[in-house]
Amino acid sequence: MVVATYNAAGLRARLPGVLDWLAENEPDVLGIQETKVVDDIFPMAEFEELGYSVVVNGQKSWNGVALLARGPITSLRRGFQDDLFPEDARIITGEVNGVTIINTYVPNGTALGTDKFEYKLRWLERFAKYLGDNFRPDQPLIWMGDINIAPTDNDVFDPKRHWGKVGFHPDEISRLEKIVNWGLVDLFRMHTEGPGNYTYWEFTIPGSVQRNLGWRIDHIYATKPVAEACIRSWIDKDARSAERPSDHTYVLAKIDI
């Protein structure tokens, strides 16, 4: 099966492009982040007409995640499902074809020294606990989404300039490493080394796409049983140049199961 992740930065603005992309690429699973739409008016029917099951965890104006799959989505969980943590719409979990899929929109962090940066760190710690409490590293599991962290020098343009800034800060990276060390493999990095492979190019930098001034902050991770079956993972950079694009693009992985 082919799984994909996409930060839409407002799904209603992106809807025609996402529908075209789905029809062309036909992934079995798509995790969408930053849908920015409440569940009542989520464009369910448009995706269902393409043959997808749709589950959503949305809120007004900000955040919001959705999970699409060809075939049924079972064992649905919205949020962390407890009262231990502030509940905004950043995580949705479902099971597709025997594989647990967790789709997350990790907090951006905004700026060092702010409550939002501390929230990002706490959210990552909460996610580590969610994994450990609910799942095992020997079961088939995929964690995908906008992780909002560049893990290494190769994952951001001009790493010397950006080191220690939001998105490339040691406190974020250490928390991500703790999550990954639970038993996950970065599927893109399993197949491709080196700099210049990005998933996000800022709107506010003129010519960022053409100059490839980007970040690899959208990731697909998997437990060993899935990673061993992953035969390819790639970034669809062309979609970042489509009409009315998001500032992110699609990341995909093909898994031989």
Active site residues: 105, 146
Choice from 25, 108, 139, 212 touching DNA (CB under 7 A): 108
Whether 230 contacts 141, CB under 8 Å: no
- Whole-angstrom distance, CA of residue 216 vs CA of residue 197: 7
Per-position DSSP letters for 26-38, written without gaps between them: --SEEEEE-----
Residue 107 makes contact with DNA by CB under 7 A: yes
- Find the shortest distance in angstroms from Cβ 223 to DNA: 28
- Find the shortest distance in angstroms from Cβ 150 to DNA: 14
| Sequence-ordered list of residues with C-beta below 8 angstroms from that of 13, at least 6 positions apart, any chain | 244
Write down the residue that tokens 């979990």 correspond to.
93
- String of contacts with DNA for each residue 58-77, x by CB under 7 A: --xxxx--------------
Whether 66 contacts 32, CB under 8 Å: yes
- Find the shortest distance in angstroms from Cβ 151 to DNA: 18
Choice from 18, 22, 30, 37 touching DNA (CB under 7 A): 37
- Whole-angstrom distance, CA of residue 155 vs CA of residue 196: 7
Residue 163 makes contact with DNA by CB under 7 A: no
Candidates 36-44, 70-78, 173-181, 233-241 — which segment interacts with DNA by CB under 7 A? Answer: 36-44
| Residue 234 β-bridge partners | 252
Tokens found for residue 126: 């909460």
Amino acid at 189: R
Residue 10 makes contact with DNA by CB under 7 A: yes
Residue 110 makes contact with DNA by CB under 7 A: yes
- Find the shortest distance in angstroms from Cβ 242 to DNA: 11
Interface residues toward DNA, by CB under 7 A = 9-13, 36-38, 60-63, 107-108, 110, 116, 203-205, 244
